[in-house]
Structure 1
Amino acid sequence: MKWRLGTLLLVVVLAYTSCGTLMPGSGSAPEAGDSVKVVFIGTDLTKTASMTGFKNADVGKPEDQMRALEAWINANGGIGGRKLEAVYREYEASNDSPAAETTLCSQITQDDRAFAVVLTGQLQSNARPCYAQRQTLMLDATLIANSRETFDSLSPYLWTASYPEYDAFATSFVAVLGREGFFEGRTQAGLVAADSPANRAVYEEIVTPALRKLGVTGTVSWIDTTDLGTLNSGLTQAAITFRSRRIDRVFFLGGARIAPFFLTSAAAQSYTARYGISTFDNPTFMVANPGTIPQAALAGMVGVGFAPGYDVPDSELAFPDTDAERDCQKIYAEAGITFARRENARVAFAYCDAALLLRAAAADLGGSLSAATWGAAAQKVAFRTATGFGGEIGADGHAAGSGYRVLRYETGCSCFTYDGPVIPVGQ
């Protein structure tokens, strides 16, 4: 069990540790009259699931979903009047590494010569800089924490049509924990966070001041995910530290499923706490794997949810719920593709968000299509995300996920539920 857990941890969490050597490229916008080539990455979790025994939602056939979007867009004006040429590349998650990400980046930017790439599961820290240096537009459909600094430093190449910007999310996360009485009667709290520049900046600039205003001191355990040994020892030591300091309120930064894996490590150390969680922690994954994740630890969980397909079952939020969900669902239905539940549409809706945002922002650009002109248009276009809440990117933004709801675990349904209305991220 320890070997299986550690293997998946190493695969999934390495995102925040390494950076490969990158060579700048000469990627450029397609010339007038050309098609627009966009590569959609599909991340294969089959081998990882078989190694670990963890259950993941069935997301169907991403390549077929991509083809449905390609056909619909080309029948409805294309990309600024140009034909969308969609290319599918599958990426094996169990082989994820900085070297593998650099190889994939080279294939897409040099062999495919893509104008844009839709990222899914590209967790390594060298991935996004590689595409930016090679002047390739990124529509990030990976559930990963991209900070404002990251977006700004890689501008105008990095965007997400589905998720929120990390700084605004972190502001809302701590605010919700405070409003929900998570810290009531406590003067200290524990944080478990992947050791990355983005996490450290958010912790120092946003989380620490917010906790101070609540009268709480944070004890952070930075998880070094360089290799299997440092990863496992980091999670174990975090539980030991919190137990020794009698800290019984813990929340997480950085996602990458550190939260569910920490629950297992904590149980092995006879440590229990009440946990603050978010969509970045993939709540439905915790519910779906009772054989490996202590279900008793879920009781009392509260936090922020911004992507229903990762947060709640359809019994708690009707599917479809928004016009954006219905629009994407209709596109796929026309191609004979249907989804039994919202969680089965996770990849399909993220693909749809990326494709529709690409189309919408390019609509009036004509022969001036480039990453820079597209980005300027994306900040003005009317858009709604099917994956999450909200949609307008705004004049200074790069992320279309502009809303969240309070998320909590309910023992009655043994599931996570939403409470209250959609609130703008940052509040």
Structure 2
Amino acid sequence: MKAPLRLGALLLVVVLAYTSCGVLMPGAGGTQAGTSGAGPGVTGDAVKVVFIGTDLTKTASMTGFQNADVGKPAEQVKALAAYLNANGGIAGRKLEAVYREYEASNDSPAAETTLCSQITQDDQAFAVVLTGQLQSNARPCYAQRQTLMLDATLIANSRATFTELAPYLWTGSFPEYDAFASSFLAVLDRQKFFTDRDRAGLVAADSPANRAVYDDIVAPALAVLGVEGTVAWIDTTDLGTLNTGLTQAAVSFRGREIDRVFFLGGARIAPFFMTSAAAQSYTARYGISTFDSPSFMVANPGTIPPSALEGMVGIGFAPGYDVPDSRLAFPDTDAEKKCQKIYADAGITFKQRENARVAFTYCDAGLLLQAAAADLGPNLNAATWGAAAQALGTSFATATGFGGELGEDRYAAGSGYRVIKYDTGCSCFAYEGPVTPLGE
């Protein structure tokens, strides 16, 4: 029997481990790398790249939460490196892949600084593949030390963040936050989420990125719809502020008779809010997205009341986090098939798509790194690599998500989404309609 869920210290420790500051707060941007010569971690015959694996085992054992088995990331990194090296390496050099494991339950600004120092100073890496580094100081630290980041974390990186940390921050798997937010509001409107409602609630971690997206995109969209938005800005600084924020949001929404609630920034704040809402006898219909980890909600019925799932609607951009294989055959796209084959040839198989979600983000990062570096020769550094990555345009496709489009001022490869809804027939989430370009 699962341990009963409670909004006490134990639960909130896990929320912080999953969410940290919720959405990345832009940092102080790094010094631009040169346009010629080799960057740090690059020698005449090798390129060092660190792949981080985020260990959730301890947090899961503390709470009884069910997380998808993602296999053995260290072996996945080894298999990916062997494939890349057998097919040209990185700019004609051998990929020297280093695997580092990070304990999620110990996440803190100090721990992120330590990890950054290990990777940039001890390992002297050219690039790092991030998989759960959520503290606000993490990405600025790597940028300030001129280390390329290939972000494989399901985190809301805004256009301003990518621009401020250029040319160091990229993702081969997920979308840019601004384009996501525009599509999210458009879909909620088309799905009649706000119909006959003059008010709606929004729950979001209190961060510069969320506030900017709210001011620039969400608030104007709600105004056009004639909907008044009541925002619950959640301070995730510590256990007390988080617990207080979630409870106050539910009480406020109940008092104002708000029965439509959606979320920004994700990082699993949504299911924990729903638990808090249930404790306050508050119910609503929810607008959600991949950022809210739909498959996590289904896999953990003790986290939120099953009745809260009914009527959920929003957008999904990463099938491994969204839907079961019964609702989207695995593998589906050519990019998925390629990454699956890379691992299968090394004897690594995945029972379902969700079991491959970490391995596929590694694959996206490795293939993107290789593709952009192909013609750089002696001039492999962050600036030259970034220019070459943007020149790839639509020739790079993500295995984790939909589509793939880089270009001028584009640092995130995820370029498509599908409408996602909770299906009571299968007690799961399912996609509806075709893949649509983000921003539409």
Range of TM-score over shorter length: over 0.9
Structure 2 unmatched ranges of 5 or more: 1-5
Task: Identify the residue that residue 185 of structure 1 maps to in structure 2.
Answer: 196
- 2:55 is aligned with what amino acid? D
Question: 1:3-45 CA deviation, whole Å, 9 max, x = no partner?
Answer: 3322211222223499899998999345562300000000000
Structure 2: which amino acid aligns with 1:419?
Answer: E
Matches within 5 A, 1:116-135: 116-135=127-146
**What letter is aligned with 2:306?**
Q
CA contact (8 A) 2:25 2:208 kept: no
Range with greater deviation from structure 2 (393-402 or 16-25): 16-25
Q: Which amino acid aligns with 1:391?
A: G
CA contact (8 A) 1:20 1:102 kept: no
Given the superposition, is the C-alpha separation of residues 31 and 300 from structure 1 closer, same or farther in structure 2, using an over 3 Å criterion? closer
CA-based RMSD of the aligned residues comes to 1.8
Q: Check the 8 A contact 1:115/1:137 in 2, yes or no.
A: yes
Alignment of 1:355 onto 2:361: no
- Whole-Å Cα distance in 1 between the matches of residues 26 and 138 of structure 2? 9
Q: Quick one: which of 383, 389, 405 aligns to 1:392?
A: 405
**Per-residue CA shift, 1:265-288, capped at 9, x if unaligned?**
000000000000000000000000
Distance across 1 between alignment mates of 2:386 and 2:148: 9
Give the drift of 1:135. 0.2
After TM superposition, give the deviation of residue 293 of structure 1 in Å.
1.5
2:172 aligned with 1:161: yes
- Counterparts in 2 of 1:345-424, with a 5 A limit? 345-381=356-392, 382-424=395-437
Q: Which residue of 2 aligns with 1:13?
A: 19
**What amino acid is aligned across from residue 84 of structure 1 in structure 2?**
L
Q: Secondary structure at the match of 2:326?
A: coil
Q: For 1:256, which of 264, 267, 286 is the aligned residue?
A: 267
1:286 to 2:286 alignment = no
CA contact (8 A) 2:268 2:293 kept: yes
SS at match of 1:189: strand
The answer to whether the 8 Å contact 1:29/1:371 transfers is no
Determine the C-alpha separation between the residues in 1 that align with 2:220 and 2:433: 26
| 8 Å CA contact 2:24, 2:134 repeated in 1 | no
SS in 2 for 1:367: coil
> Structure 1 pair 117/284, CA: closer, same or farther in 2 (3 Å)?
same
Indicate conservation of the 8 Å contact 2:397/2:404, yes or no. yes
- Which whole-Å CA distance do the structure 2 matches of 1:158 and 1:266 have between them? 36
120-129 or 18-27: which moved more? 18-27
Instruction: Name the amino acid aligned to 1:9.
Output: V
Identity level (%): 76
Structure 1 residues 113 and 31: CA distance shift in structure 2, 3 A: closer
TM-score, normalisation: structure 2: 0.94
- TM-score, scaled to structure 1: 0.97
Partner AA of 1:412 in structure 2:
G
SS of alignment partner, residue 425 of structure 2? coil
User: Aligned AA for 1:395?
Assistant: E
Count of matched residue pairs: 427
Classify the secondary structure of the residue corresponding to 2:229.
Answer: strand
Please tell me the residue identity of whatever aligns with 2:7.
K
User: How far apart are the structure 2 equivalents of 1:190 and 1:2?
Assistant: 21
Is the 8 Å Cα contact of residues 24 and 209 (structure 2) preserved in structure 1? no
**CA distance in 1 between partners of 2:50 and 2:108 (Å):** 20
Q: Are 1:403 and 1:425, in contact at CA under 8 Å, matched by a contact in 2? A: yes
Question: Is the aligned partner of 1:275 residue 2:300?
Answer: no
* Partners of 2:73 and 2:359 within 8 A in 1: yes
Q: For 1:13-412, what aligned pairs fall within 5 Å after superposition?
A: 13-16=19-22, 28-30=39-41, 33-381=44-392, 382-412=395-425
Aligned to 1:2: 7
Partner amino acid for 1:107?
Q
Shift of 1:414: 0.4
Q: Distance in 2 between matches of 1:380 and 1:23?
A: 23
1:376-408 C-alpha deviation (Å, 9 max, x unpaired): 111111100000001121222000000000010
In 2: Cα distance, 1:8 partner to 1:347 partner: 20
In 2, the alpha carbon distance for the partners of 1:375 and 1:424 equals: 23
Give, in whole Å, the separation in 1 of the partners of 2:81 and 2:39. 21
Contact 1:20 1:99 in 2 (8 A): no
Distance 1:250 1:413 in 2: 24
Residues in 1 aligned to 2:67 and 2:387: alpha-carbon distance in whole angstroms? 37
What residue identity is the alignment partner of 2:427? S
Structure 2: how far apart are the matches of 1:264 and 1:206? 28
- Partners of 2:382 and 2:211 in 1: how far apart? 29
